[in-house]
Amino acid sequence: MYCPNCESATLSEKEIITGLLVKECSRCHGQWISSSKYEVYLNRRDERSEKLMYNEFSHENGDSLKGKICPDCGHILVKFKVGHGIDFYLDHCLRCNGIWMDANEFKVLYSHGLHDELNKVFTTQWQKKVRKDAHQAAMELVYREKFGAKYEILKDLREWMQQQKNRSIVIAYLND
């Protein structure tokens, strides 16, 4: 089994958290989680007391635009943005449901409590929320640029307006 990132380095088995075996690349330290191993891990979560098999770590977003091939079945991996405060993508095989993570990404997911929720990242509902959050962040930047220092005042006014029962009368007054 070859690394989808390095394409030539082999992957060797490693336990990254109590009960979760992955295949790790000796060169780039990316990790492959097969669907069956992850399922076993999830099914045994009530039996285990978790211990992350890492010390301190740092993470730099190393996502590349290069397509990756599934090391299990040979299909192309599809990128899914994690979102929810995490700024990287997971590579997912739509055929065998395996997951490729670049070095240290599992540690970041673990620190956000998402290590038991990886399959949710690939759902329509999750991805809609990721897109909605990205849109809101982009609009926030636009408004900050347009209004400058007054943006905070406008945000407070907007929040106050949303709490008013007679909001339409207040809007009519402002428009008059």
Would 123 be classed as within a structural domain? no
Q: Residue 28 is part of which domain span?
A: 11-117
Same domain, residue pair 90 and 144: no
Taking the CB of residue 87, how many other CB atoms lie within 10 A of it? 11
Same domain, residue pair 111 and 141: no
pLDDT attached to residue 174:
87
Same domain, residue pair 18 and 83: yes
Same domain, residue pair 49 and 100: yes
Would 51 be classed as within a structural domain? yes
Q: How many domains does the chain have?
A: 2
pLDDT attached to residue 59:
44
Same domain, residue pair 101 and 167: no
Would 3 be classed as within a structural domain? no
Would 76 be classed as within a structural domain? yes
Same domain, residue pair 75 and 94: yes
pLDDT attached to residue 71:
94
Would 44 be classed as within a structural domain? yes
Same domain, residue pair 90 and 154: no
Same domain, residue pair 95 and 153: no
User: Contact, 168 vs 162, CB < 8 A?
Assistant: no
| Chain-centroid distance, C-alpha 102 | 12
Same domain, residue pair 86 and 154: no
pLDDT tens profile 115-166 = 999 999 999 999 999 999 999 999 999 999 999 999 999 999 999 999 999 9
pLDDT attached to residue 66:
77
Instruction: Check: pTM over 0.75? Answer yes or no.
Output: yes
pLDDT attached to residue 57:
43
Would 122 be classed as within a structural domain? no
pLDDT attached to residue 7:
85
Same domain, residue pair 67 and 92: yes
pLDDT attached to residue 8:
81
In the chain, helix, strand, coil percent, each to 5? 40, 20, 40
User: Contact, 33 vs 98, CB < 8 A?
Assistant: yes
pLDDT attached to residue 144:
94
Quick one: DSSP state of residue 173? H
Question: What's the burial of 77, exposed, middle or buried (CB within 10 Å: 0-12/13-18/19+)?
Answer: buried
Would 1 be classed as within a structural domain? no
pLDDT tens profile 44-103 = 876 655 555 544 444 455 566 678 999 999 999 999 999 999 999 999 999 999 999 999
pLDDT attached to residue 56:
46
Question: What's the burial of 46, exposed, middle or buried (CB within 10 Å: 0-12/13-18/19+)?
Answer: exposed
Same domain, residue pair 134 and 107: no
Would 65 be classed as within a structural domain? yes
Same domain, residue pair 59 and 143: no
